[in-house]
Every structure is written in structure tokens, then in C-alpha cells.
A and B are shown apart, each in its own frame.
Chain A
């Protein structure tokens, strides 16, 4: 047993897991509000990270201005995607909508590669000190920042849905669109807002990852990891998505520990979430907290 290594990986897993949780949360937000399975979630992270990187590294904007600018941009970007691409698809079969988001992810991915190149870029330094010591463990400052930001976003999201008027309107729409509409809620603007919030939250996650690891197209991989997380938690449960994300993050790192200590297979780390995904789909398809579909004709 290599305890120090294990603890290091567990901390790592918790940090990455909360980030997965945040991204999965914004994925579930879109699914719940608009019934769209968004295959371009990872690309939203990527757009946010690259835009912030461009502002900071190319135009020398300080972080505390560049970050809000990015978020405003992403808010607009989310609305634009919904209005231009997904609004015309309302009423189309669900598989067409899924394929539109797949197309969207291809376009965004390639456009970003075209604009910013394929090489990973280091993010400008945001924090002065590299690491702090906590309970005898050396933990990098960026990790703590990442954890704090993730938890803050989760709390913010919970507040938004439980207390704010707009969040309540969104939940009402998710519950029943026609009833919500008859109560005077503009379903159109709720849909646009769902995308805007999701894009913004994803961008925050993207920037956090970029601060830790630098920007590269590998960031879009977070969008793929969202599926195991969201399926595990239940596709339409925001809390489940967070928990699913944390479990997947921890599991990845435990897989890496088992792999490097005992199995020596290589990249079990990468692939373990997908095995979990298949198993969950086979034995508990609606996840831990998802609602069972009961349909009437």
C-alpha cells in the first residue's frame, strides 16, 4: 500500500470529480429544461477556456476583468446557439436534435483548432503561491481554487433553482411546458436562459481546468465524461449529476491507483468510467436519482 500516493490520487479525484459534477450539472440543466441531450457540452468548456486565454494571453487583460468578460460572452453564446440552431429543431424527433448537437460539437471543435492551433497553451499564472500545506499535505493552490469555485457554483445553482423567480420558472417548465406557459412563463426565454446558464457554468469549469492544466482540445473530453456522471446520477437529477461527477472522478483515480500498483494495464484511468456507464445502463438505467419514465398513450 502506497498511502501517500493513494491520498494524493483521492484528493485529485475529488477535485476533478467536483469539476465533472459542475459540467454534468450544466448538462442536466439543458436536458431537464429543454429535453436536449447536448453532445457539445465539452466544446462549451473549450470555447470558454480559449476565449479567456485569448483575452489574457493575447490582449493582456487582467484576470479579474478577463474572466467576467468571458462569462458575458459565453452567456450570449449560449443564447445564440439556442436561438439559431436549437429553436428551429423544436418538435423534431429527439434523434435529430441529438445529431444537431453532434454536428455542432464537430463545428466548434474544428473552428477552435483552426483559430487557436492544435498545440496546448499554458494559461497565464493567476496565483502567486504554488502550493499550500494543509494537514501536512502539500496541496496546490489551483486545486483549492478549483474546489472552492466548483462548490460555489453548486451552491449558486441550488440557490437559483430553489429561491430565485427565474429558477422556479425553469423548474415549472421542466415539469410541464404547457402548464408553465398557461401560467405566463415564456418557455422560449426559459429555453434560451437554460442554454445561457449552462454555457456560462461550463465556461467557468473550462477556465478552472485551463488554469490547472493549460488549454488544449483535450478539454472537450470533460464533455464526454459527463455521460457516465449524468447517467450514474440519473439523467434528469441536478443533485445526482453532482454526486455522479464526484463518484466518477474518484473512481477514475482509484482505477489509476489499482492500475499502477497491481494491474499495470496502462490506461485503465481513461476507460474505467465507460465500463461503469455500461454496467449502470444494464442494471439501473435511470441512475441513482433519475425519475422512471412512465408513459401513457
Chain B
């Protein structure tokens, strides 16, 4: 969706390879590599609280990326994403506890299992328009959560299921510092994967379905296949993220994975920008940091007149929910392309500074 203003004058592309390249210039690639290297150094500098925030951003951004494939690239909505996230978490914990499979392999396996379950709920999607799929995923959310509370062999019932710590060839990784690298590796791998997926024939088919599904079908794109595929992919990434979350927290419980969490995932991609891969990361960071900043705000206002009038401190959880809902509405009304769009504008501004016209 890069606007024409972004492409400098005299930049002519003469091959498809040049047009679909991820990094248009050497500098941009070097910047990306440098960014990853800086992130690798982060655990040495930051500790405790902020590191755990970063890990959360990483994990949730993988799930949000999956949702963005479905919403942003294929034009279908899911409000059952949290249930698939949870399914991935339970599956990975179950596999690594009950089978002689190390956690290293349990995580991708959990992704595959979640994808298969996602496909089952995606079957109606094959015949239906986005509208009906939303409702099917709503049902998926309730049915899966009901299943989790029923299947005690799988989830441990009311007692949270425990998950083994991450281990690789018998060497167990413990603590946030080491786990950060695992999450970082998964984030980079999944972002590269999805970026490349969108450059392939299959990725273009998804975008074509989003833009006009009838035209896409007439052009020979198999709607059933690609809609189900994108649903499966979304569930796959949700499963991977859930599995990572399970082995990070070491326990899995249903608490906090109701429909509100699914809405939170939607908020991440709306704020970041539907159909933007880097935007997903920005949106996730925004949504994860929002409650933290509200916490700071309420601490700052504590004891003041506003605090007393509205009893802010006692109601901070509701305030967070209101903020999330309000931000979804505000972004959809005033900034439908999300933070990614704003970021592009800022970049363009500096590129052309001081002669922006």
C-alpha cells in the first residue's frame, strides 16, 4: 500500500523481482539487520518488568499476525482468535507433558493441531461471506471454551495445566532472559514467513479475494481453498503463539481468554493497520503498552480531585476496557489504515524534509 510519494523520482523497476523485493535499498536492509541485532542485546540491558513486556509483545504479535492474514489480507473477520490461542497453549502443554516430545517440537506441533481445528470451523467460511464467518467464529469461541472447561484430561479442569519449560536438546532455557531469544526467533521467523507468503501466488490470491471476491473467482481463484487456507493459517499462528505463551507462563488457564481477548487481538491489527505486516507489530506494542500507561496515569492522578470524583483506582480494569473499545472506534473512524499509515507519512516527511512540496 506504499503511496506514490514514497517512491523517489527516477526509481524505475524493470523486473517483477525488483518490484516485490522486501528491501528496496541496501540501507533499508542494513537497518533491519541492525534492528534485530539491537533487539538481541536488549536482555543484557533491560531486565525484569520491561523484558516481560517485550516478550508479551512478541508472543501476541505472532497471534495478531495470524489474524491479520485473515482480516487484513483475506477480508474475513474472526472473533474466536483467543480460543485458538488457548487451544495452542493447551495442546503444547499436553503434548510435552504426555508424549516423549521435547518442547522444541511441541510448539510447531501445537500450531499444526490448532490449524486443523481451525479448518473445521473454517468449513462454513468456504461457502459464506465474511459476515457469516464472524458468527461462525463467535460460535467457535464459545464451543472451544466450553470444551476446555469440560475436558479435564486435556486442560486439568479448574486447576491450571502445567507446561514444561522450553528445552532444546536437553538444555533447558529458564528465565525471561533466555526465553526472550526463543520468542525473538519465532517472531522473526513468522514475520519473514508471512512477508514472503504475501509475495507468492497464494498471497496474491488472498489479496484478490479481499478486494473483490467475485472477480477473484472469475479469474480462476478457488475461493473455498483460499478462504479455508487463510483460516487455517490464522489458527496456525494463534496456536504457535499460544504454545509460546504456555511455555513462558509454565501454566495454562482459561482465565482471561474469553471474547474480550479476541477483541483485543482485533484491536491490535486495527490499530496497527489491517493488511500491514509491520503495522501488526506496532499495533500489538500499542495494545500491550496501553494498560501499562493507564496504570501509570492512575498512579499519577492518585489522590487528586479527578481520582476522587471518578474513583479511578478502583475501576482501572473497566477504564482499560473502555480505552480499548474507544480506540478501536476512533481508529476505524479517523485512521482506518492504522499506525502503519502514520509511520509511512512520518518517513515520507523526513525523506523530503525540508522541501515537502
Contacts and interface: CB of A to CB of B under 8 A. Distances in A.
A99 B77 contact: yes
Contacts of A278: 121, 124, 136, 139-140, 143
B214 interface: yes
A109 interface: yes
B132 A107 contact: no
Contacts of B124: 278, 281-282, 285
A271 B146 contact: yes
Category for how many chain B residues contact A: 35 or more
Contacts of B79: 102
A50 interface: no
B128 interface: yes
Given A109-B321, A270-B146, A282-B124, A93 B75 contact: yes
A285 B127 contact: yes
Nearest to B310: A114
A96 B266 CA distance: 11
Nearest to B322: A110
Interface in A93-136: 93-96, 98-100, 102-111, 113-114
B292 interface: no
B173 interface: no
Given A88-B333, A100-B333, A278-B143, A285 B132 contact: yes
A105 B150 CA distance: 28
A31 B225 CA distance: 29
Interface in B92-141: 121, 123-124, 127-132, 134-136, 138-140
B175 interface: no
A89 interface: yes
A57 to B, nearest CB: 20
Nearest to B139: A274
A125 B324 CA distance: 37
A108 to B, nearest CB: 8
Secondary structure at chain A's binding surface: helix, strand, loop or mixed?
helix
Contact of A277 (B71, B136, B150, B321): B136
Interface string A258-297: 0000000111001100110110011001000000010101
Contacts of B332: 89, 92, 96, 99-100, 103
Contacts of A96: 332, 336
A55 interface: no
Contact of B77 (A92, A95, A274): A95
A37 interface: yes
A281 B315 CA distance: 40
9 contacts: A93-B75, A102-B263, A106-B260, A231-B132, A235-B131, A274-B142, A274-B143, A277-B139, A295-B214
Interface of A: 37, 85, 88-89, 92-96, 98-100, 102-111, 113-114, 224, 227-228, 231, 235, 265-267, 270-271, 274-275, 277-278, 281-282, 285, 293, 295, 297
CB-CB nearest 5 A-B residue pairs: A106-B325, A103-B328, A110-B321, A107-B325, A274-B139
